[in-house]
């Protein structure tokens, strides 16, 4: 599915009270990105601090973690880049996002009635996506420098230091975003995690959290309350 995909018709997009939010390809690539990121998160933290080395022990020990860390990193990057192909058009910032951005404090306080309608992804989700996408690119570039560090001549030793700095900075930026993402999906917006696992959401959930997207896929405005 390309970024310029057409919106599916209601007949193929809905089933009873359920609406397909993520198709199989989207869910699979999200899962691959999650698996790759979590492995790199655990092993990366183990490399970063001796107090966290027990994380490497869980996945088979230091040598095993060192071998698989870059490969799982490649899995994370490839899956993330593929998600850009799937969601690129959905991640563009719109006027609706600007309005949602101004009302973000109401969203954080769970005051849904005071939050403007959002499209398929709200402003916060889009910012998280771009954080992870560019974070993945920086982690890849700096990671290659650390993976093949022996190929960097000593006269360019500053590149090694730069690679370490960029890798650590990008890692902590994505960790912060990841923690917020999990909190919002599990605690603040119940049903969000279920959607990325099973693919569907209820019509009521779609109307409340992503009304513009709901109206788009159902080809009509939200019905008045009570109907």
pLDDT digits (tens, 9 = 90+) for 56-111: 999 889 999 999 999 999 999 999 999 999 999 999 999 999 999 998 888 877 77
143 to 7, 11, 39, 64, 181: CA distances (angstroms): 37, 46, 15, 17, 24
* Residue 16 confidence (pLDDT): 54
* Cα dihedral across residues 12, 15, 21, 27: positive or negative: negative
* Residue 38 confidence (pLDDT): 97
* Residue 179 confidence (pLDDT): 95
What is the pTM (predicted TM-score) of this model? 0.84
CA atoms within 13 A on the CB side of 25: 9
Smallest Cα–Cα separation from 102: which of 112, 92, 115?
115
Smallest Cα–Cα separation from 35: which of 46, 43, 24?
43
Taking residue 151's Cβ as centre, other Cβ atoms within 10 Å add up to 8
DSSP letter at 39 equals H
How far is it, in rounded angstroms, from Cα 2 to Cα 10?
19
142 to 5, 73, 135, 166, 212: CA distances (angstroms): 33, 11, 11, 6, 39
Q: Which CATH entry fits the domain spanning 17-218: 3.90.1150.110, 2.40.110.10, 2.170.120.12, 1.20.950.20?
A: 1.20.950.20
Regions of the chain short of the pLDDT cut 50: 1-15, 225-227
Q: Which residue stretches of 1-23 are H helix?
A: 10-13
* Residue 219 confidence (pLDDT): 81
DSSP letter at 152 equals S
Q: Find the helix or strand (DSSP H, E) in which 201 lies.
A: strand 200-202
- The answer to whether residues 107 and 115 touch, using CB atoms and an 8 Å cutoff, is yes
Smallest Cα–Cα separation from 147: which of 227, 69, 58?
69
* Residue 142 confidence (pLDDT): 95
* Cα dihedral across residues 7, 23, 86, 38: positive or negative: positive
- Domain coordinates of the chain in residue numbers? 17-218
């Amino acid at each position: 599915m390309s970024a310029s995909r057409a919106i599916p018709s209601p007949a193929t997009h809905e089933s009873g009270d359920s609406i397909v939010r993520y198709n199989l390809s989207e869910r699979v690539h999200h899962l691959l990105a999650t698996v790759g990121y979590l492995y790199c998160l655990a092993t990366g933290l183990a490399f970063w601090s001796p107090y966290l080395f027990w994380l490497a022990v869980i996945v088979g020990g230091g040598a095993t973690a060192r071998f698989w860390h870059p490969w799982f990193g490649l899995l994370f990057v490839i899956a993330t880049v593929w998600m850009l192909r799937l969601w690129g058009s959905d991640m563009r910032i719109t006027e609706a996002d600007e309005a949602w951005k101004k009302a973000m404090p109401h969203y954080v306080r769970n005051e849904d009635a005071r939050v403007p309608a959002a499209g398929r992804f709200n402003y916060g989700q889009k910012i998280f996506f771009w954080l992870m996408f560019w974070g993945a690119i920086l982690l890849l570039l700096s990671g290659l420098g650390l993976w093949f560090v022996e190929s960097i001549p000593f006269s360019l030793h500053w590149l090694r230091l730069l690679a370490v700095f960029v890798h650590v900075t990008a890692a902590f930026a994505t960790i912060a975003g990841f923690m917020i993402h999990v909190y919002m999906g599990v605690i603040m917006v119940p049903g969000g995690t279920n959607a990325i696992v099973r693919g569907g959401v209820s019509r009521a959930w779609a109307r409340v959290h992503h009304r513009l997207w709901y109206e788009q896929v159902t080809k009509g405005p939200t019905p008045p309350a009570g109907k």
